[in-house]
Each structure stands twice: as structure tokens, then as C-alpha cells.
Amino acid sequence: MKIPLSPFGSIYILTAFIFLITSIAAFTPTSINLITNIKTGQVPIPPLILHIHAASMILWLLLLCIQSILIKSKNYALHKKLGIASMVLAASILISMFGIDITNINGGLELSNSNTKEFLIDYSGLLLIHGVSYLFFPFFYVCAIVSRHKDSETHKRMMMLATAVLMVPGIGRLIMVSKVLPDFGLIPIDARHLYMLVLITPAIVYDVYTRGLPHRAYLIGLGLLVVWIVSAHFIWGANWWIELATKLFGVP
């Protein structure tokens, strides 16, 4: 008899809690600092879109943990009912991600003045970092929803992949802000992608341990992510990308 690798009894519960703990570790220190600065009047209250995104993300991670536990306990009826909430949260997360970037870009352009070009160079890089979330979160989530009735094995793995790509901003804070994670001398986008893959590795290793090879959902997902990771590495800092980003922002 094989001994489960997960102390929670399910690799999906363990992976969901890894995501949740990583997010808490990434955002709690800066959130506390932000609240303190708001109370002392050093910074204004963040825009509503930021609050919506933060609430959507924490609810998503909590829901992922709860849904994994419900499946383990065979409470399928409640699992299906709560699945509807994931659709609302997924839409809220995606819309708020775009909203935050649009808000930050507009605000940055207003404050940059003569340093507009420098700001755009920095933000074109940030948009590329967010690219993995923009592209693959909706794709993996839709795959998970489409397969939920006929292929539960694909469904749960796609949900894990969808959440993994949302972890990039939190990973960035752990690398750049709190410096909990080393960057190993990698460029910013490569370091974030490395840790994103590390977060999903336990689930893939468990597949290999129990099945002999990763499930096709992981093979497809990782294949797509590798193509993006390699492409993003070469796009990073490229003049044509910066010029394209400048045109997208409507700056001459």
C-alpha cells in the first residue's frame, strides 16, 4: 500500500494550502505597512479596484482549499454548489487585474512627467510579468469548468494550474519586497516563473509517484507554460516590446 505524500490526506488540499500560505506570506507585511501609512496620512486610500482584487483573490484561495476538502470528504453536493461561486470570483479576478494595471498606468503617466519613457520601460516589464496570469488563468479555468462533469481528474488539475499562474504577483513581493526568496541572479520575470513552477511541483511529483507519469492536463498545461516562459525570457527588455507597450498606452 502506498503512503500518501500529503499530510492533509490529499495532494490537492496540500497544494491549495501552499498557495494560500504563499499569498499570506507575500501580502500580509505590505498590507500591514499600507494600513499604517494610511492611518498616519502618508498615503491615500487605494482605489476600489484594488480592494475588489484583494478580496476576490483571498476568497478564491479559501474556496480552493474548501473545495479540495469537500472532495476528499466526498461532499459532492456542496462542492457543486460552491463551484458557482468560483465563476463569479474568476470573472472578478480577471477584470480587477486589468483594472489595477489600467489604474496604475494612468496614475503613473500623470506623475511621471519628463520620466514618461522610463516609467513605460518599467511598466512594460510588469505587464509582461502579468502576462502569464492574463493568458493562462482564463484558459485553465475554462478547461476546468468544461471538464468538471465528465473528467474530474482534468478538472481538479486545471484548477491547480489556474491558481498557480495567479501566484506570480505574490511571488514577486517575496523576491523584490520582503526578499524572502532569492532570485539566483535571474532576470525578474525568470525568477517569478521559476517559483511559480516550484509551487505546482509537489502536485506533479505526486502524479508521477501514483500514476507513473503526469496526467495529460499537467503535460498540456506545462507545455503551454514552457512556451510562454521561454518566449517571455527573450521578449523581456526588447525594444520592440517597449515600443509596442508605449503605443498601447497611447503615448507618442
Quote the CA–CA distance of 77 and 71 in Å, as a whole number. 10
Quick one: pLDDT band at residue 112, thresholds 50, 70, 90? low
What would the pLDDT profile of 51-82 be if each residue is shown by its tens digit?
A: 999 999 999 999 999 999 999 999 999 999 99
Mean pLDDT, range 40-51, rounded to an integer? 88
Quote the CA–CA distance of 13 and 7 in Å, as a whole number. 9
Contact 121, 229 (CB under 8 A): no
What would the pLDDT profile of 153-195 be if each residue is shown by its tens digit?
A: 999 999 999 999 999 999 999 999 889 999 999 999 999 999 9
Question: Of 156, 121, 127, 183, which Cα lies nearest the Cα of 16?
Answer: 156
Q: Which residue has the higher pLDDT, 9 or 167?
A: 167
Which backbone phi and psi does 78 adopt, to 5 degrees? -70, -35
Question: Of 172, 171, 158, which Cα lies nearest the Cα of 224?
Answer: 158
Give the residue extent of every domain in the chain. 11-248
Contact 171, 192 (CB under 8 A): yes
pLDDT at site 82: 93
pLDDT at site 251: 58
**Residue 76, CA distances (Å) to 12, 13, 142, 148 in order:** 15, 15, 20, 12
